[in-house]
Amino acid sequence: MKKLSICAVLLSTAGAFGASAGTVVFDPGQAGADTITDSGFSNFTSLDLNQDGVNDIELGIGGYFRAGGFVNALSDQFRFVGGPPNVTPPTVTVTDAAGRDVLIDDPNSFEAPYQEVYISSTNGIADLFDAGDVVGANTFGDDSGFQDLFDAASDNAIPNVGDGGFLGFRLDIGTSIYRQLDGFLPTGFASTPESFYAFLEVEHGSIIFGQAGFNNVAGAGAIIPGGPTTPIPLPAGLPLLLAGLGAFAFVKRRKS
C-alpha cells in the first residue's frame, strides 16, 4: 500500500476547505426528448427538479389562448380527490353526551406532505442565471409561479430563437393539514417548510431544456456548473507549515 506523505495529506485537506457540497447536477431529459415543439395541453413536459419523485414544474407552448412558451410551477397538484391517503388523522377535542371533553380522530382532515414551487423573477420577467452563478436566498427574485419564456404579446426571458440561460427555482417542502373542501385540499404549511434551490437550463428554439441541478441541503444555494474557476484559499498558516516541512525533509536528506 502506498504511503501518503504529510504534505500530500495537508494539500488534500486544503482542497476540502474550498469544495462546494450539496449541488447535484443531472440531465432531466431522455435522449431526443429535450425539445418541446408542439403546443397544447397534452404536450406539456413535467420535470422533477430535486429528484424526489414529485414533478415540480411543467414546460409548454400555448394553452388558454397563449401562443408562446412558458414555465409553470406545479404547486396545485397536492389534492386528494378520492379521499385521504393512508395517514394517521389529527385528533380533535369534542364534547360527549356527559359534557366531557374527549379526543377523537378528525375524519375531515389529515396531515400529509405538501410543497410550493417558485420561479425567480424580477419586475414580472423570469431571471436568467449564468454558469457559475448561485441560485440561493441572496440571489432569488420575486416569488412567481408562472413565467412567459417567449410570447409576442408580453415581456419574456428568452424572446428570440437562440436566447437562453438558467432559470432559478425555490422548492418549499413540508406538510399541510388537508381538509374536506372540494376533495381534500391543503390549507398552507402546517409549520415552517424547508427551502431547496434548483436550476434548469432553457433555450428558445422552440423550448430546449438542458442540464438541471439542485442543492440537497435545505437553505443552501445551488451552484450552476461551468463558471470561471477561482483559486482555492489555503487555511491560514498552511503555507508556513508546508515550508517548514519542506525544509525539514531537505535537512533529513542531507544527513542521510
State pLDDT tens for residues 177-223: 888 776 778 888 989 999 999 999 999 988 999 999 999 999 999 99
| Structural domain contains residue 142 | yes
pLDDT of residue 222: 96
How many domains is the chain built from?
1
- Cβ density class 78-104: b for 16+ within 10 Å, e for less: bebeeebeeeebeeeeeeeeeeeeeee
Cα distance between residue 127 and residue 241, in whole Å: 45
- Say which residue the cell 400555448 belongs to: 62
pLDDT of residue 180: 76
Q: Is 241 exposed, middle or buried (0-12, 13-18, 19+ CB in 10 A)?
A: middle
| Structural domain contains residue 230 | no
pLDDT of residue 29: 74
For 141: left if phi > 0, alpha if psi spans -120 to 50, otherwise beta; the answer is beta
CB count, 10 Å around CB of 186? 23
| Structural domain contains residue 5 | no
Q: Which domain holds residue 145?
A: 20-225
pLDDT of residue 63: 64
| Structural domain contains residue 167 | yes
pLDDT tops 60 at residue 77: yes
pLDDT tops 70 at residue 140: yes
Cα–Cα distance list, 18 to 59, 173, 211, 233 (Å): 36, 29, 24, 7
Point out which residues pair with 122 in neighbouring strands: 125
| Structural domain contains residue 238 | no
Point out which residues pair with 201 in neighbouring strands: 166
Return the minimum-mean-pLDDT range out of 47-51, 82-86, 149-153.
Answer: 82-86
Confidence of residue 108 (pLDDT cuts 50, 70, 90): confident
| Structural domain contains residue 52 | yes
Which pTM does this prediction carry? Answer: 0.73
pLDDT tops 90 at residue 125: yes
Return the minimum-mean-pLDDT range out of 60-69, 70-79, 202-211.
Answer: 60-69
pLDDT of residue 31: 53
- Say which residue the cell 408562472 belongs to: 146
pLDDT of residue 192: 95
| Structural domain contains residue 80 | yes
Confidence of residue 4 (pLDDT cuts 50, 70, 90): very low
Closest to 139 measured CA to CA, from 117, 168, 164: 168
Cα distance between residue 240 and residue 39, in whole Å: 63
Confidence of residue 234 (pLDDT cuts 50, 70, 90): low
| Structural domain contains residue 15 | no
